[in-house]
Amino acid sequence: MKRALIAILLLTATDASAQEEWIRLRHGELNNAIVAERLRLEDGAEQSFGEDGFTRHAADVSRRGYWKIDGDKLCTAWPPAGDWTCYRLYLSGDRKRLRFKADDGSTMVGTYLAR
């Protein structure tokens, strides 16, 4: 009986984490989710977004780019190319992570460093 109960509890916990809630952020919420925040991305790099429209990506080499909000998307551009790439943003249910989803379907998750 105990083994069956433990198995059910483990299955429930695994199922709950697999169905994690992500909340789509819209135009008015995007600024609050990124401005003056630092994120640690899945690849170990850190990214921050300043009120001045600049973003910094720090990994082995630091880069400085631009960000803007276009409708319900966050867009970034990295010189010298300067092409804009736009993302839909999703906030985790626990409000500790931010998921970036590009138009091609690729995703990247960042964890807030101080919030």
In sequence order, what DSSP letters do the residues of 64-112 get, joined into one string?
EEEEEEETTEEEEE-TTT--EEEEEEEEETTSSEEEEEETTS-EEEEEE
What is the overall mean pLDDT for the chain? 86
> Is residue 15 one of the residues assigned to a domain?
no
Query: What's the predicted TM-score (pTM) here?
Result: 0.79
pLDDT number for residue 19: 72
Tell me the per-residue pLDDT of 91-103, one tens digit each, with 9 for 90 and over.
Answer: 999 999 999 999 9
71 in a domain, yes or no? yes
Indicate whether 74 belongs to any domain: yes
What are the tens digits of pLDDT across the range 43-80? 999 999 999 999 999 998 899 999 999 999 999 999 99
% of residues, the chain, pLDDT over 90: 75
Task: With respect to residue 63, please indicate whether it lies within any of the assigned structural domains.
Answer: yes
